[in-house]
Chain A
Amino acid sequence: GAVVSQHPSRVICKSGTSVKIECRSLDFQATTMFWYRQFPKKSLMLMATSNEGSKATYEQGVEKDKFLINHASLTLSTLTVTSAHPEDSSFYICSARGTATYEQYFGPGTRLTVT
């Protein structure tokens, strides 16, 4: 149980375009979802926390107009990178948490490359 998927696993886009990444909880209802970013050989940095039906809470230094997060249902959250630039290239990982535990379950990650 507690499986989280992400789609796509890899995406390459041109500078200036927008990219949407989906995070789904497959076998549980995720009241809270989290988005992390990971630079090469670095640890995970929390970008934002989203609760179903509410606006996301962004960490300090994360541009909310650039990284749009939508958590419209209990099994789906999306991260849209708007007007992507090469410096947005990174590994994006989502996680999901149900109601019964603090434990977060992680997706497999999405590798974004902006050319």
Chain B
Amino acid sequence: KQEVTQIPAALSVPEGENLVLNCSFTDSAIYNLQWFRQDPGKGLTSLLLIQSSQREQTSGRLNASLDKSSGRSTLYIAASQPGDSATYLCAVYLVGTDKLIFGTGTRLQVFP
């Protein structure tokens, strides 16, 4: 059974810091891995999708890497801002199914 874990569960940092959020999964048989952002009481905003053949994706201040063999992904946030405060979720698409399995989430707070 695929399990997706995110560390840390919560993080509070001052504005301007560079951050690394970690995601690990137990079964490397995945199609893609996707990072989402969720604001309180809201739906999901897709940040980055990494295909299994790729090692990283970048969008603005965000960079996500994928190491399938070790079952790990990281989301790097450069020069964090208070507007980055949200819950960040990683999710993996399982090979052979339609399913998307979500991680446990990291609650990020960036204070001015």
Binding site for B on A (CB under 8 A): 6, 32, 34, 41-46, 49, 91, 93, 95, 97, 102-109, 111
Contacts and interface: CB of A to CB of B under 8 A. Distances in A.
A32 B100 CA distance: 13
Interface stretch (B56-64, B67-75, B101-109): B101-109
B32 A103 contact: yes
Given A43-B104, A102-B32, A49 B99 contact: yes
Given A43-B102, A97-B98, A102-B98, 19 more contacts: A34-B98, A41-B107, A42-B105, A43-B89, A44-B91, A45-B102, A46-B99, A91-B41, A102-B32, A103-B32, A103-B49, A104-B100, A106-B43, A106-B44, A106-B46, A107-B43, A108-B42, A108-B43, A109-B42
Contacts of B102: 43-45
A107 B44 CA distance: 8
B65 interface: no
A26 to B, nearest CB: 14
Contacts of A104: 100
A6 B42 CA distance: 12
